[in-house]
Amino acid sequence: MFTKRIIVSILALSTLVVGSVTLIQAATDDTVTVYSSRKEHLIQPLFEQYTKETGIEVSYLTGKGGDLIERMKLEGKNTPADMFMTVDAGDLWYAGTQDVFRPVLTDTLQSNIPPYLRDPEGLWVGLSIRARTIVYSTERVDSSELSTYADLADDKWQGRLCLRTSKKIYTKSLVASIIHNEGEEGAEAIVRGWVNNLAATPNAKDSHVMDAILAGQCDVGLVNTYYFGRLIEETPDAPLSLFWANQETTGVHVNVSGAGVTKHASNAKGATQLLEWLSSAKAQAIYVSLNKEYPANQSVASDAIVSAWGAFKKDNMNLAIAGILQADAVTLMQRIGYK
């Protein structure tokens, strides 16, 4: 019977696939394997360039930061990962506490990346800086009205503020930094003020925050600068502008994306070499141009659009603190009802 034959052949096919399963790619000795929560389209061009220059292949697996850390913990000493790359200081810090990394503090890394962007013990290094600051409508807000993150809690912004969800790691790290700078009570008052001033349910994406400001639903918001950079690249005359927050006080909250060599790397040498290359001026230029971020290597110039925003004072809080205080930040936001 026809249908029967189809069923049988589908079964045969699936057995074949399942059979060939554990053909885990036999990686050649010098291939470097990377687990990354930085998305594929942002890392693939870099690794391609590395292979072109050195002849060394890089294989990678993207995933969510927390998932990949869990996977590495369970894989233990047999993990295929030589390097772990992620997009938030809190994740880097957490991976450090879970004994996922080994210290690699080579001279090259020390000279390429400034100390405040590295783990003190050398477990991980930052590869790009991501600033989270105020974005505002140039039609309805004058920059003189803006000053600090705390100011957005003021009554004058009632019904004019848009924020990204508290579930996003960037929000968590920002609030963690506010707890560090203003204390638990100060932070609580600020977040409560923000929630009172919201014009809409917190958005799922930074890009939605900017869309909402452009559409007139709100007048100010908080975003990572590269989202703004992408928007401006597409629509240069959008009536939106960035404002550097807390310039008179603690400075703009910055986060890092970064990477470290795993504790059980089978190719630690290759991974270290890749990490050094990623911190080099040439790679850093590609790294930041792919996503309009700020380079961690200070000898590298930012993308033209990015440098047009000018220099700004950064919050020099040690980034491990963002990790340590993240759970407190979430507790605080959930208590206040910041969704």
Cβ burial, residue 194 (10 Å; 0-12/13-18/19+): buried
Given a contact cutoff of 8 angstroms between Cβ atoms, the answer to whether 133 and 250 are in contact is no
Nearer to other proteins by C-beta: 105 or 212?
212
List the interface residues with other proteins, window 50-69 (CB under 8 A).
59-64, 66-67
Smallest separation (angstroms) from other proteins to the CB of 137: 12
Q: Is 28 in the site for other proteins (CB under 8 A)?
A: no
Nearer to other proteins by C-beta: 65 or 251?
65
3-class state of residue 310 by DSSP: coil
Q: Which of 74, 144, 236, 310 binds other proteins (CB under 8 A)?
A: 74
| Span of 3-11, 124-132, 237-245, 311-319 interacting with other proteins by CB under 8 A | 3-11
Smallest separation (angstroms) from other proteins to the CB of 178: 17
Nearer to other proteins by C-beta: 5 or 144?
5
Q: Is 165 in the site for other proteins (CB under 8 A)?
A: yes
Q: Which of 26, 52, 55, 78 binds other proteins (CB under 8 A)?
A: 78
Nearer to other proteins by C-beta: 227 or 243?
227
How many of the other CB atoms lie within 10 Å of CB of 324? Answer: 15
Kindly state the helix (H) or strand (E) to which residue 61 belongs, with its residue range. strand 58-62
Q: Is 94 in the site for other proteins (CB under 8 A)?
A: yes
Q: Is 334 in the site for other proteins (CB under 8 A)?
A: yes
How many of the other CB atoms lie within 10 Å of CB of 121? Answer: 11
Smallest separation (angstroms) from other proteins to the CB of 7: 7
- Angle 40-54/268-279 helices, nearest 10 degrees? 110
How many of the other CB atoms lie within 10 Å of CB of 336? Answer: 18
Q: Is 339 in the site for other proteins (CB under 8 A)?
A: yes
Map residues 230-269 to x or -, x wherever contact with other proteins holds by CB under 8 A. Answer: x---------------------------------------
Nearer to other proteins by C-beta: 319 or 336?
336
Given a contact cutoff of 8 angstroms between Cβ atoms, the answer to whether 12 and 4 are in contact is no
Q: Which of 30, 41, 121, 299 binds other proteins (CB under 8 A)?
A: 41
* Buried b or exposed e, range 235-265, using 16+ CB within 10 angstroms: eeeeebbbbbbbeeebbbbbbbbbbbbbbbb
How many residues sit in the footprint of other proteins (CB under 8 A)? 67
Smallest separation (angstroms) from other proteins to the CB of 225: 13
Q: Identify the CA nearest to 60 among candidates 87, 78, 75, 42.
A: 42
Cβ burial, residue 40 (10 Å; 0-12/13-18/19+): exposed
Q: Which two tokens stand for residue 26?
A: 């036999």
Smallest separation (angstroms) from other proteins to the CB of 245: 21
Backbone region of residue 76 per phi and psi (left: phi > 0; alpha: psi in -120 to 50; beta: other values): left
Q: Which of 202, 251, 258, 295 binds other proteins (CB under 8 A)?
A: 202
In sequence order, the 6+-apart residues with CB closer than 8 A to the CB of 256 are: 88, 89, 92, 117, 126, 127, 128, 129, 130, 296, 319
Q: Which of 22, 28, 155, 237 binds other proteins (CB under 8 A)?
A: 22
Given a contact cutoff of 8 angstroms between Cβ atoms, the answer to whether 116 and 247 are in contact is no
Smallest separation (angstroms) from other proteins to the CB of 106: 27
Q: In whole angstroms, what is the distance from residue 220 CA to residue 142 CA?
A: 11
Residues that bind other proteins (CB under 8 A): 1, 3-4, 6-7, 10-11, 13-14, 17-18, 20-22, 24-25, 33, 39-42, 59-64, 66-67, 70-71, 74-76, 78-80, 94, 165, 167, 172, 199-208, 211-212, 214-217, 227, 230, 326-327, 330-331, 334-335, 337, 339
